[in-house]
């Protein structure tokens, strides 16, 4: 059978079109199988001012109260909770107290959980104990600092041990000279709702593989493409809080918090968010998103969370 030029061209076009569609199907299927949300989550992670920040890491000898049995799963350690009657809701969890349970890494399951509510609960339950623990340490320093200030204000002298402690605290909080007022601006807690909100934005509720793998839920960048790696979640939380309490970029946040203290108020995350203008290159858009997220997900409820052992005492 002899084909006319028109029929031959149509036959060639049909075969080429079918071949092209087959290639597109293969490509789209490959993307669907291998695509992960990291590229989306990392788009909100900033490179300033953190790339030049100096972090004071927690000592590797830091210890926590451990449960008797420890489960080893997915290269991270989670203490087994001996209390089988754990609260079923976060409201009940807050009222009965948070167990002193510390995971060294964000669970890998956060990248696979489909149920959004379950994912959010898992993220909060993993990160919140570390936030409470370091706030507890900061508050202990603040309480002792206030005690020493009262001694000095009353005209009495400090002991050598007390003076050395003040010198060390001044150095740790990056001050050139001792100033009770400036120290009290810096040695203070970061509301749990603020820390959780920023971790949610920077890690996508822990859905970002790089944030999980490198223990870096707060978006601290080593360079333009690499997240800073932390050896534990506690050290990541410590670096985050130390940055807000020490870095010059967040002096505004510290002034807002100091004013709230002066007014007899507990530090409010929605107010403090205004002092995070330089946390992201998105500036006001970032702080607006943070406030909305804290409000929509009722994160302020965690500002009232306490460890179970503290509620019993």
266: Cα within 13 Å, side-chain hemisphere: 9
- Give me the pLDDT at residue 95, please: 74
Please tell me which residue, 155 or 9, carries the higher pLDDT value.
155
How would CATH label the architecture of 57-312?
Orthogonal Bundle (1.10)
d(CA 301, CA 294): 10
Q: Are 282 and 288 in contact (CB under 8 A)?
A: no
Over the stretch 198-243, which tens digit does the pLDDT of each residue have?
999 999 999 999 999 999 999 999 998 899 999 999 999 999 999 9
133-188 confidence digits (pLDDT tens): 999 999 999 999 999 999 999 999 999 999 999 999 999 999 999 999 999 999 99
Residue tagged 């009940």 (tokens): 92
* Exposed / middle / buried, residue 144 (Cβ in 10 Å: 0-12, 13-18, 19+): middle
58, two tokens: 């927690």
The residue count of the chain comes to 313
> What was the pLDDT predicted at 239?
98
Domain boundaries, the chain: 57-312
pLDDT in tens, 255-285: 999 999 999 999 999 999 999 999 999 999 9
Rounded Cα distance, 77 and 66, in Å: 11
């Amino acid at each position: 059978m002899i084909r006319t030029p028109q029929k031959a061209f149509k036959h060639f076009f049909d075969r080429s079109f079918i071949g092209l569609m087959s290639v597109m199907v293969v490509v789209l299927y490959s993307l669907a199988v291998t695509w992960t949300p990291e590229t989306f989550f990392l788009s909100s992670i900033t490179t300033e001012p953190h790339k030049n920040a100096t972090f004071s890491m927690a000592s590797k000898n830091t210890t926590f109260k451990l449960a008797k049995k420890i489960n080893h799963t997915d290269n991270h350690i989670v203490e087994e909770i001996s209390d089988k009657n754990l609260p079923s809701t976060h409201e009940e969890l807050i009222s009965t107290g948070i167990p002193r349970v510390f995971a060294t890494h964000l669970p890998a399951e956060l990248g696979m959980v489909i149920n959004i509510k379950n994912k959010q609960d898992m993220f909060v339950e993993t990160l919140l104990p570390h936030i409470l623990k370091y706030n507890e340490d900061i508050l202990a320093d603040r309480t002792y600092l206030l005690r020493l200030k009262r001694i000095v204000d009353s005209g009495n002298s400090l002991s050598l041990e007390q003076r050395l402690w003040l010198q060390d605290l001044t150095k740790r909080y990056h001050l050139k000279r001792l100033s009770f007022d400036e120290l009290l601006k810096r040695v203070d807690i970061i509301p749990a709702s603020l820390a959780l909100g920023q971790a949610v934005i920077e890690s996508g509720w822990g859905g970002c593989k790089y944030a999980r793998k490198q223990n870096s839920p707060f978006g601290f960048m080593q360079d333009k493409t690499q997240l800073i790696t932390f050896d534990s979640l506690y050290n990541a939380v410590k670096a985050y809080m130390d940055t807000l309490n020490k870095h010059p970029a967040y002096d505004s946040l510290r002034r807002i918090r100091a004013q709230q203290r002066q007014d007899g108020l507990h530090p409010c995350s929605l107010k403090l968010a205004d002092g995070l203008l330089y946390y992201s290159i998105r500036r006001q858009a970032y702080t607006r998103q943070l406030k909305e997220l804290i409000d929509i997900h009722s994160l302020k409820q965690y500002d009232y969370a306490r460890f179970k052992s503290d509620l019993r005492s």
